[in-house]
Amino acid sequence: MDPARLAPLTGTYALTPAISISISVRDSTLWMASGTRPAQRLYALTDQLFVVHGRRGVWVFERGADGNVTNLVYWRDNNGVRWRRT
C-alpha cells in the first residue's frame, strides 16, 4: 500500500488514559505497538480495514465528517472496542 495513504492513519489511540497503542508506518506497512510488547504488523484488507495475522478480529479506522481519522475500532465476535485518537 502507498505510504502516503497510510500516513493519515498513524498516531496514538487511547482506550483509557492509561492504555494506548501507537500506529506507525514502516516498510510501506502499518505497525501497532503497545507498551513494551513487540510491534505487530497490520495487514491491509482495504484502505481502512486491517488484520493482524494469528489474531481474530479486524481493526477499522473511522473517519469523521471532515475526513480525518478519529477512532480505531477493534471488531471481534461482533463486539467493537473503540480506541480514540489522541
Domain hosting 55: range is 3-85
Specify the number of domains making up the chain: 1
Each residue's pLDDT tens digit, 60-81: 999 999 999 999 999 999 999 9
To 10 degrees, the CA torsion angle through 71, 20, 39, 29? 20
pTM, whole model, 2 decimals? Answer: 0.92
Residue with C-alpha cell 475500532? 73
3-class DSSP state of 78: coil
Residue 60's CATH number: 2.40.128.50
> What is the C-alpha to C-alpha distance for residues 71 and 62, in angstroms, rounded to an integer?
5
Each residue's pLDDT tens digit, 37-54: 999 999 999 999 999 999
Amino acid at 18: A
- Own/partner long-range contacts of 45-51 (Cβ < 8 Å, ≥24 apart): 47/1, 47/5, 48/9
